Structure 1
Amino acid sequence: MSTFRSQHSGWALFKGLAFASPFLIGFGVLYAWPILASGWYSLTDFSLFKAPRFVGLANYERMLADDKFWKSLYNTLYFTFVGVPVDIAISLAGAHILNMKLRGQALWRALIYLPSIVPVVAAGFLWRWLLNAQYGFVNEIARWFGLAQPNWLADSAWGGVSVLILMLWTVGGTMLIYLAALKDVPVDLYEAAELDGASHWRRFIDITWPMVSPVTLFQIIVLMIAFLQVFTQPFVLSKDPGLTAQSAVGPGDSMLTYSIYLFQNAFMFLKMGYASAMAWVLLFVTLAITLLVLWSAKKWVFYGNR
């Protein structure tokens, strides 16, 4: 009897592995092997035209003296630590407004989400026109109100702001997730607070924020990863996206992000070993920030069982 059971369980295991084999093979070939290979390549001097030569931690040491590495890391962290809070604030405020009983509510939701379905490259070229210093629509509006008309795409002080504007243009997706979370907040909590004389701000702090804090944690992590990996928006906005070693990405490299510099080293300068080392550094930076957010969540995220 025990022999039959062992044979039956072995056959069931074989069938399960056979059923999952397409995924396991795909994961191994497309994910696991490239990850392990990049770890090895990060310790080598490797390009597409010569065999890898082991150099130890030389690629990582080189980063310490690479000005463009630090510039790209600074820009990326700037976009992340400025863009994510602004995205969260706009999304939560917009969702709160959309959650009210407004006329044409479905239309407003559709209009707000519409930019999220526009291809990023197309949106980038659209915003290059909107932010043009001479005939752009944004500066035209500023001119009507007598405001300053900055040279968005040619001034290093405004290059990073231009990238943030394009990234925040798709805030509608985050807003709709918040809207779904607000729909789950029990209405009787607001009614009880209103009877107690609580103001709108007090109701938001004591009811709305705790109820949507788990969603906020999710949004922060997802947005943070997206901002740390940003590539397309600055690449399209830049008039000369660093296609040569001497050219800058945006005015004064103000649009040079970590992913763009990694791309340049890997596929333009063919420094695969250095690019692999950069990829691992980005992984550890992302992991460190994510763990920090999860650790801090113990103090500001509230769950129903607590």
Structure 2
Amino acid sequence: MTEGNFVDYVKVGLTSGKGGKGSVHLHREKFITKGGPDGGDGGRGGHVIVRGNENLWTLINFKYTKHFKAGHGEHGSKSRSTGADGQDVYLDVPLGTVVKDFETKEILFEITEHGEEKILLKGGMGGRGNWHFRTATNQTPRYAQPGMDGLEGEFLLELKVLADVGLVGFPNAGKSTLLSVITSAKPKIADYEFTTLKPNLGIVEYRDFKSFVMADIPGIIEGAAEGKGLGHYFLRHIERNANLLFLIAADSKDISKEYEILLDELRRYNPELLDKERLICISKSDMLDDELMDEMREELNKDLNGTPFMFISSVAQMGIVELKDKLWEMLNA
């Protein structure tokens, strides 16, 4: 998937259908000149329904079509015939989509399962026909109910990427390179900050035809929790990853400090993120010799408070197999 095709935030305008009118009709047939009322009910207006689809990874379907209207209910007719219901409108969204009210920003619901359906706007009820209004003193009512109007509103659709492993790190830490090596994904890679502006997803193939999903999240900068830089636009994706893989470059001035900054940004955005399983990878480790690696290992054992870590190099394919083993172990713990 190219970066331009990844759409994770859209505003849509929606309108449900109006209910059909009830019928005003008096029964007439041969030899029955004064039959009673037999007007049928109007059909209900169409609903606007949000439906989960596991085959979608983006909200690009709503990038150019942002207004949707459900069908109106048909009017009732004679012989107590009920009008047809209006046609429902289905909005197919990827799993992990959050629906919010545009005005209040209130979260209405989330779609997390394939085939899950939520009625966002109900269609208007159909009006009752005059058959319902007959009484002993008014045996031929010549009135019926009109259909109720549909509802309309503006809503936000936000996608939070669902993945088994989320890559977390500063810009240019090597996340995209690792994703390109460990999966079949082809993210944009270059030697400057914020190469990745949208999350990239890849399938990691493991032994015995097993697999799991890894997401490369755009790089964190200090102040991201307050919206600085890409801010909330990428932090929300981290919420939906089962495990977090922190990537810190071996040439960093202070690996432990960088890790603490990353943790602090996650903590300020959502403290629950710290409950996820974590693994630290020291990337670009092919530039380290054995002696330096041993020294760093000794320091990190003291500074990281028991958080597991390992040395890898995506370019040199160093530690990649061991990384897959460790991630699979974490996912199935």
The alignment's TM-score, normalised by the length of structure 2, stands at 0.22
Structure number with bigger Rg: 2
Higher helix share: 1
The alignment's TM-score, normalised by the length of structure 1, stands at 0.23
Higher strand share: 2
Q: Which has the higher contact order (CA 8 A, sep 6+)?
A: 1
